[in-house]
């Protein structure tokens, strides 16, 4: 399928500086495979003043067009100068830049779709006493700015869409992309494989993975110390307790939506070593590695970790991509297909991992191996 000629001239796509590398891959696919042209893509000039304030200026008109803006608010590789010092742009600043772009469109675009490859403030999706409700408020800000659709990949909790009940909210899970990379690049003993959920919250995702791979499932329960409160105001985790099938010399696939500091994953790797595992993989849509990768390097050297699979939907430094234990899953084709469907006014649902189609595809790959 290609972009329809009747829609083509009214499409403008902007890849923010936060998705420069991913955007280049997507743009190449859209032009070479789906019939888009250079005229469908525009750039923005983001200016920072000496005190850190900024502005955005679109380099081309978006008048009477359907305007698509793609951004990764967790990109931490972009620098700017303020008060003579170099600073790193953080998520709050990337989200503000996104709003500046929407303002720069000045109401001229006929329709605006915002695609956040990772949802801003997605982990602050619910409110407890005296807490801010950042994700919901950010979505409502976009709604008030007359954004017509919000799309993201693998939202931490999709229920946050209830904050904008009248605005389309598409949550695209890249399961097929992740599993396809895993099956094609690993020598897997499916009869001895267990899909592992690192906590109760990831059980739904892990059940889906186990169903697609045709393997059993396990869970690590977070036993918390309710006599203490940590600096985040939460009860610290005392230990991870495994619940599930016990096998000797098994293979384990730990499944989650993101690796932040990686503390929980690393603790689980230590727990699994007592089960004499042959291989242990980790699969997470987003690899943030906020505390660096030294502990992952050590786990790999000890034989506790086989490989970590993460998408390129959020920025991962080049030095991490070169690690022998890291595999970057290219999600550019899926993003390109999403943009194509949006451009053609086609439903996005065919891209949301039909169970039977995915199962049949993976079963065929297993048989071929």
Q: List the domain boundaries for the chain.
A: 5-172+332-346, 175-330
- The answer to whether the beta carbons of residues 163 and 138 sit under 8 Å apart is no
Q: Is 128 exposed, middle or buried (0-12, 13-18, 19+ CB in 10 A)?
A: exposed
Question: DSSP secondary-structure letter at 236?
Answer: P
Q: Which two tokens stand for residue 340?
A: 């194509």
**Using CA atoms, how far apart are residues 160 and 140, in angstroms rounded to an integer?**
11
**Using CA atoms, how far apart are residues 110 and 227, in angstroms rounded to an integer?**
55
- State which fold the 5-172+332-346 domain adopts: Rossmann fold (3.40.50)
In CATH, 175-330 is 3.40.50.720: no
Of 185, 195, 188, give the one whose Cα is nearest residue 279: 188
Please report which helix (H) or strand (E) contains residue 11, including its range: strand 11-15
Task: State the pLDDT at residue 230.
Answer: 65
- The answer to whether the beta carbons of residues 285 and 153 sit under 8 Å apart is yes
**Using CA atoms, how far apart are residues 356 and 351, in angstroms rounded to an integer?**
13
The yes-or-no answer to whether 5-172+332-346 and 175-330 have a common fold is yes
Residues of the chain with pLDDT under 70: 223-228, 230-239, 353-355, 369
Residues 121, 122, 125, CA angle at the centre, nearest 5°?
A: 95
Report how many helices (DSSP H) and strands (DSSP E) the chain contains, helices first. 11, 17
Whether the model clears a pTM of 0.85, i.e. scores above it, the answer is yes
């Amino acid at each position: 399928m290609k972009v329809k000629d009747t829609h083509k001239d009214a499409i403008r796509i902007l890849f923010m500086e936060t998705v420069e590398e991913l955007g280049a891959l997507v743009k190449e696919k859209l032009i070479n495979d789906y019939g888009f042209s250079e005229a469908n893509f525009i750039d923005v000039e983001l200016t920072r003043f000496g005190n850190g304030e900024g502005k955005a200026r679109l380099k081309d008109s978006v008048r009477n067009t359907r305007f698509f803006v793609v951004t990764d608010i967790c990109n931490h590789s972009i620098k700017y100068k303020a008060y003579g010092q170099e600073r790193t742009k953080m998520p709050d600043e990337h989200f503000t830049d996104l709003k500046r772009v929407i303002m720069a469109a000045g109401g001229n675009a006929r329709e605006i779709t915002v695609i956040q490859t990772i949802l801003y403030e997605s982990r602050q999706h619910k409110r407890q006493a005296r807490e801010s409700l950042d994700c919901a408020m950010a979505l409502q800000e976009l709604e008030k700015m007359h954004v017509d659709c919000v799309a993201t990949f693998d939202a931490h909790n999709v229920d946050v869409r209830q904050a904008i009940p009248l605005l389309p909210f598409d949550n695209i899970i890249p399961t097929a992309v992740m599993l396809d990379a895993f099956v094609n690049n690993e020598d897997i003993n499916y009869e001895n494989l267990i899909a592992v959920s690192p906590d109760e919250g990831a059980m739904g995702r892990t059940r889906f993975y186990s169903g697609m791979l045709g393997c059993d499932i396990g869970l690590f329960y977070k036993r918390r110390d309710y006599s203490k409160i940590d600096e985040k105001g939460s009860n610290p985790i005392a230990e991870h307790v495994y619940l599930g099938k016990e096998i000797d010399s098994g293979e384990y696939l730990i499944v989650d939506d993101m690796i932040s500091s990686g503390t929980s994953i690393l603790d689980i790797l230590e727990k699994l070593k007592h089960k004499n595992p042959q291989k242990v993989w980790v699969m997470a849509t987003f690899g943030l590695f906020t505390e660096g990768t030294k502990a992952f390097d050590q786990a790999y050297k000890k034989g506790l970790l086989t490989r970590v699979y993460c998408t390129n939907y959020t920025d991962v430094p080049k030095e991490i991509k070169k690690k022998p234990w890291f595999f970057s899953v290219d999600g550019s084709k899926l993003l390109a297909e999403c943009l194509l469907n949006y451009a053609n006014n086609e439903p996005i649902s065919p891209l949301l991992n039909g169970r039977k189609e995915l199962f049949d595809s993976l079963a065929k790959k297993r048989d071929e191996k």
